[in-house]
């Protein structure tokens, strides 16, 4: 009798797991790198990231590199090794107060992060003209807890950086190799 109950429990476990997997797959959930994300086009398989060299540019480059690698691209250290270059034109990071208490002891802020970039092929033809990707979030600051507020700000900026990098990779998935013949590079905007 007990052996029969064990078989029924195992049967229901299997049914539950299959239903869960089917539901997750049906709603569009896919693990990265497991064929669930659209692959980058062949022209973007070896990418060089050209940043301006600022501290935030370096931080964003690390985050974007991570996102690109998670989507199957190889990030190279020199433009002559790449089939395409992501040229970071600008990175803007700003904070704006939204609400504050009368004594200024508690303030709610909006944090904004945006990156302008364009994508060039190995011959400096434009694959994707200049785009700006932005993200924002809010956080509250308490004057009596400055250390924890500083950590919170770092976390918010890190999350925004990841969101922008992820959105850039999504935009790159739409780049076609034939775009280089449609959008020739202008020599005056280098």
Task: Report how far residue 190's alpha carbon sits from residue 187's, in angstroms, rounded to the nearest whole number.
Answer: 6
Q: Rounded to two decimals, what is the model's pTM? A: 0.70
Residues 6+ apart with CB under 8 A from 179: 126, 127, 128
Q: Indicate if 85 and 128 belong to the same structural domain.
A: yes
Task: Kindly state whether residues 136 and 48 are assigned to the same domain.
Answer: yes
Q: Compute the average pLDDT of residues 160-187.
A: 72
Q: Are residues 4 and 74 in the same domain?
A: no
Q: Which residues contact 78 (CB under 8 A, 6 or more apart)?
A: 48
Same-domain status, 66 and 137: yes
Helix, strand and coil content of the chain, in percent to the nearest 5, comes to 45, 30, 25
Q: What are phi and psi of 138, to 5 degrees?
A: -120, 155
Maximum Cα interatomic distance, the chain, rounded to a whole number of Å: 83
- Given a cut of 60, whether residue 30 has pLDDT beyond it is no
Give SS3 for 101.
coil
Lay out the sheet containing 74-76: strands in order across. 74-76, 46-50, 84-100, 106-121, 126-142
One domain for residues 47 and 7? no
Range of the domain at 150: 39-189
Mean pLDDT, the chain, rounded, equals 80
Q: How many domains does the chain have?
A: 2
Judged against a pLDDT cut of 70, whether residue 141 lies above it is answered with yes
Model pLDDT for residues 63-122, shown as the tens digit of each residue = 999 999 998 899 999 999 999 999 999 999 998 888 876 666 678 889 999 999 999 999
Q: Does residue 93 sit in helix, strand or coil? A: strand
Q: Do residues 12 and 67 both lie within one domain? A: no
């Amino acid at each position: 009798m007990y052996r029969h109950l064990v078989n029924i429990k195992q049967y229901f476990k299997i049914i539950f797991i299959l239903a869960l997997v089917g539901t997750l797959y049906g709603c569009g959930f896919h693990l990265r790198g497991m064929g669930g994300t659209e692959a980058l086009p062949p022209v973007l398989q070896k990418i060089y990231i050209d940043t301006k060299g600022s501290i935030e540019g370096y931080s964003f480059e690390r985050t974007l590199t991570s996102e690109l690698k998670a989507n199957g691209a190889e990030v190279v250290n020199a433009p002559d090794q790449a089939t395409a270059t992501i040229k970071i034109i600008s990175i803007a990071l700003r904070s704006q107060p939204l609400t504050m208490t009368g004594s200024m002891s508690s303030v709610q802020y909006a944090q904004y992060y945006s990156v302008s970039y364009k994508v060039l092929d190995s011959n400096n033809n434009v694959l994707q003209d200049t785009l700006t990707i932005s993200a924002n979030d809010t956080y509250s600051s308490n004057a009596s807890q400055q250390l924890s507020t500083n950590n919170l700000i770092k976390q918010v900026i890190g999350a925004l950086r990841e969101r922008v990098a992820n959105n850039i990779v999504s935009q790159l998935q739409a780049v076609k190799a034939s775009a280089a013949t449609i959008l020739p590079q202008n020599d005056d905007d280098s």
